Structure 1
Amino acid sequence: MSQLQYSNPINPYNRLHIIQNSDGTLTRLPEFYPTIPPSTTDTSAPSLSKDVILNSDHNTSVRIFLPKNVSNHEKTSKKLPILVFVHGGGFVLCSVATPVVHEFCSESASQLGALVVSVEYRLAPEHRLPAQYDDVLEALNWVKEGKDEWLKNYGDLTRCVMMGESAGGNIVYHVGLKVANQIDDFKPLIIKGLILIQPFFGGVERTKSEIRLVNDEDLSLVVNDLLWDLSLPVGSNRSHEYCDPFVGDGLKLWDRVRDLGWKIGVTGCDGDPLFDRNVKLGKLLEQKGVGVRSLFDKGGHHGMFLSNPPKTKELFDFVNSFFPV
């Protein structure tokens, strides 16, 4: 870090609007992290949504989104593909009820014609990795049971895609590998692909894009480092495989993904400090024979695919190709 120059001293806690408590927990200032309820009867929303408890002991849940044009019918002969979505926030922030996450999932259900299952997982540092991976795995097991009324009536368990943004992309990466190598345990749920939207990865060595964007407004390096310090297992650093996908045995496990024929999507932009890592990941997976599709843009910023409507539409066009007919 000594070779990097910050234009202004950045207090990452202030930037993230969080306060560290004496017991190691965080106070997330509510005025900066509003939440909204599911759209059970809101006629202005493109999709209906509801919350379902996943694990009461862990305070986890899922928010399910159903397109309105489908919800007007009690049942449909042609069921909808299932999109399991995992939100970002550096493992530390946000939820399924964060307005931008909720609205993105509602639009996803409507625009993609899918049943969207958005996972409310535990947050760090109160619950460090791999708690988040475990929660999403539990959500997939809940989906495969198909007991929820919406899943039973409208969801096609044979057409499932997992998609995650930022930290959610990291979670989908690791959970996807675990599922691929234990595929029989998740039947009758059949996953067809993984979509990693600007996935949140790191490492000990700085990349050119991280150095070039050291003071980035959306994800400066000091903020990036703090998020990893708060979320990695105690005593670990950025050389841990949860952070750096290019260490350990993780890449070897992609042989199974290749054999399953899953489609893998990786998106990014060169205005994002994570850009170089996103590009490298896509190239390495291609070299392993995995079916990779990339969506990389010039300019932009971290989080743009959720917050910028034209980029969201571009993403939806990209995602549409991942759903088998």
Structure 2
Amino acid sequence: MAELRDSQIALKFRFFQVYQNGRIQLFRSHWDKIPPYDDPITGVRSKDVTISSDPPVSARIFMPNLRNPNHKFPLLFYIHGGGFSMMSAFSKEYHHFCSRVSAQANVIVVSVEYGLFPERRLPACYEDSWAALQWVASHVNGNGPEPWLNNHVTFNKVFFGGDSAGGNISHTLVYRVGAIGLPGVRVDGVILIHPFFGGTEDDEMWLFMNPIHGGLQDPKLNPPAENLAKLGCERVLIFVAEKDYLKVAGKNYYEELKKSGWRGRVELVENHGQHHCFHLRHSAYEEAVELTNKVVSFLKADW
């Protein structure tokens, strides 16, 4: 009987399956990671930092070419995607994307490495990302643990960004900032690339991953109007991809945000003919370059 429970599948979702004995098998359990390095072409430098050892939270920081030793840059706080269960801030896809954005937008990027399901069930990813954001904010007065942030960040121009699951987490962060504040930090804008929200076939998967939830109306899954109205930023940029099943979730978020009473500016960009997070896999394609250029122009804009 035990052998039968070991082999029989009880539940099957997009990214993993659950056996009757409770064992969880990820369909993609490995991804390549690369070390930080200094790019001799763009001048972008990168390093890894430990934010917390228990629970383990870390980040990779990217700093653009420092021509003036006293220069201060805007900061992009970036959260990777991967269905809350895969990928890494240290994977080559996210390293190269963050490095490109850092070089082209002239911003410091902090790319967060948060706990993944099933080793750490939701809401760990949300709490890890909030802890990382508070760690960043600890540098506001120039006496935090990381010299790059102490010496070279202007905290009156901070951005959040993320793709897929990272877009969902970015929303929860900017709502939390709007609801309770983040002293010394002004969040200018948020970038959501093909974000995950409720209203798709993955709703049940998210509920399974998150044993502490409020059902299908959980505000992390389906943000209510009162939460959207409190977003603690001035601008939001949302990307959706034409062939992405999450397109409907991104468009719904856009429409609900406009109706919520939030007083900021929101823009929706549709990547025609493209699939979910295509820009990470095919960064040299014209459409991927256009997406990156749009992100860069959003970061560089003055309103």
1:44 Cα deviation after fit: 5.4
Q: 1:213-272 CA distances to partner (integer Å, 9 max, x unpaired)? A: xxxxxxxx5xx4675255222687544332233xxxx32023233xx6610111102210
1:24 Cα deviation after fit: 4.4
**Does residue 193 of structure 1 match 2:189?**
yes
**What is the correspondence of 1:1-325 to structure 2 with a 5 Å cutoff?**
16=15, 24=23, 32-39=30-37, 41-43=38-40, 47-67=44-64, 69-70=65-66, 73=68, 75-77=69-71, 79-146=72-139, 147=144, 148-183=146-181, 186-203=182-199, 206=200, 221=201, 224=202, 227-228=205-206, 230-233=208-211, 238-245=216-223, 250-257=224-231, 262-287=234-259, 288=261, 289-309=263-283, 310-319=286-295, 320-323=297-300, 325=302
Given that 1:12 and 1:226 are in contact with CA atoms closer than 8 Å, whether structure 2 keeps it comes out as: no
Using a 3 Å threshold, how does the CA distance of structure 1 residues 262 and 230 change in structure 2: closer, same or farther? same
1:52 Cα deviation after fit: 0.5
Q: Which secondary structure does the structure 2 equivalent of 1:118 belong to?
A: strand
Q: 1:117-168 CA distances to partner (integer Å, 9 max, x unpaired)? A: 0000111122222211111111111111112111122111111000010000
- Provide the C-alpha distance between the structure 1 equivalents of 2:150 and 2:216, rounded to a whole number of angstroms: 42
Partner in structure 2 of residue 215 of structure 1: none
- Provide the C-alpha distance between the structure 1 equivalents of 2:173 and 2:219, rounded to a whole number of angstroms: 13
Structure with higher RCO (Cα < 8 A, 6+ apart): 1
Query: Structure 1 unaligned runs (5+)?
Result: 1-10, 207-220
Q: Which secondary structure does the structure 2 equivalent of 1:283 belong to?
A: helix
The more displaced of 127-136 and 155-164 is 127-136
Using a 3 Å threshold, how does the CA distance of structure 1 residues 263 and 239 change in structure 2: closer, same or farther? same
1:59 Cα deviation after fit: 1.4
Using a 3 Å threshold, how does the CA distance of structure 1 residues 173 and 159 change in structure 2: closer, same or farther? same
Aligned-partner residue type, residue 242 of structure 1: K
Query: Structure 2 unaligned runs (5+)?
Result: 1-10
The more displaced of 172-181 and 226-235 is 226-235
How many residue pairs are counted as aligned between the two chains?
282
- Provide the C-alpha distance between the structure 2 equivalents of 1:141 and 1:235, rounded to a whole number of angstroms: 24
Partner in structure 1 of residue 7 of structure 2: none
- Provide the C-alpha distance between the structure 2 equivalents of 1:38 and 1:18, rounded to a whole number of angstroms: 33
1:17 Cα deviation after fit: 8.1
Using a 3 Å threshold, how does the CA distance of structure 1 residues 226 and 149 change in structure 2: closer, same or farther? same
Q: Which secondary structure does the structure 2 equivalent of 1:128 belong to?
A: coil
Given that 1:254 and 1:290 are in contact with CA atoms closer than 8 Å, whether structure 2 keeps it comes out as: no
The CA RMSD over aligned residues, in Å, is: 2.8
- Provide the C-alpha distance between the structure 1 equivalents of 2:213 and 2:108, rounded to a whole number of angstroms: 40
Given that 1:91 and 1:227 are in contact with CA atoms closer than 8 Å, whether structure 2 keeps it comes out as: no
Given that 1:19 and 1:28 are in contact with CA atoms closer than 8 Å, whether structure 2 keeps it comes out as: no
Instruction: Percent identity, please.
Output: 30
1:302 Cα deviation after fit: 0.4
